[in-house]
Amino acid sequence: MTVDDLRFDAQGLIPAVVQEADTGDVLMVAWMDRAAVQATLETGFTHFWSRSRATQWRKGETSGHVQHVQRVYADCDADTLLVQVHQEGPACHTNNPTCFFTALQGDGAAQGRAGRAAPTMLARIEQIVEQRKTAPPAGSYVGALLAKGEAAVSRKIGEEAIEVITAALGGEGDRRLVEEVADLWFHTLVLLGERGIPLRDVLKELARRHTERRTGG
């Protein structure tokens, strides 16, 4: 399929759903005209059409929170795009990781932000670690741990791994195991942040292994 095959609306626009390529998080929805679609494909950065300002804009041109395009798909009717990206920084102008953080009335609203999907939470923790690394507020646990260096973070991971095993084999119940695994994952993300390794690199490696096993590699 080419840009010529897309079905733009009467205003010459097509909606684009932007998704984090590795986690599947929906980051935002915006509009593209033909030129924005072509610029997105040609440059590898998302471009959109602003209906309020009647002009084309590139995501991150003022905030620096650019989106590196990985894949672009059209739906079965060719009238909606799915743009998979690697997002730098928060996607939303409110500095939230995604524009979709407000739950409507119902079960989701009762859960609030704590009810978000696990991949989104991991990405949020990654951002928090990065913030604490560069500008830790007073009393920050993550900031204090990072200040002690990689060896201290690694030792903490070792302690948490032992606690996971103890919870699993010590008959302490599922809840305790969940808590200890959460501690282990959290401190692992701190180590990745200390090294400057993005979470998506780990997810890519998991995806690579999964693909190899499925194809007999």
CATH superfamily placement of domain 111-214: MazG-like (1.10.287.1080)
Percentage above 70 pLDDT, the chain: 91
pLDDT of residue 105: 66
Distance CA 52, CA 176 (A): 51
pLDDT of residue 117: 45
pLDDT of residue 163: 96
pLDDT of residue 110: 46
Higher pLDDT, 130 or 181: 181
C-alpha gyration radius of the chain: 21
| CATH number for the domain formed by residue range(s) 3-87 | 3.10.20.810
pTM for this prediction: 0.60
Residue 98 confidence (pLDDT) above 70: yes
pLDDT tens-digit readout, 114-166: 444 444 678 778 888 988 998 889 999 999 999 999 999 999 999 999 999 99
Residue 61, C-beta contacts closer than 8 angstroms, at least 6 positions apart = none
Percentage above 90 pLDDT, the chain: 65
Higher pLDDT, 77 or 210: 77
What is the domain partition of the chain in residue ranges?
3-87, 111-214
Q: Do domains 3-87 and 111-214 have the same CATH topology?
A: no
pLDDT band at 192; cut points 50, 70, 90: very high
Which tokens in the block code for residue 4? 């010529």
- Extended strands (E) in 100-141: none
* Phi, psi angle pair for 102, to nearest 5°: -110, 115
pLDDT band at 90; cut points 50, 70, 90: confident
pLDDT tens-digit readout, 42-52: 999 999 999 99
* Phi, psi angle pair for 85, to nearest 5°: -135, 165
Average pLDDT along the chain:
89
pLDDT of residue 31: 98
pLDDT tens-digit readout, 33-85: 999 999 999 999 999 999 999 999 999 999 999 999 999 999 999 999 999 99
Which tokens in the block code for residue 119? 């991949």
pLDDT of residue 19: 94
pLDDT of residue 176: 95
Residue 21 confidence (pLDDT) above 90: no
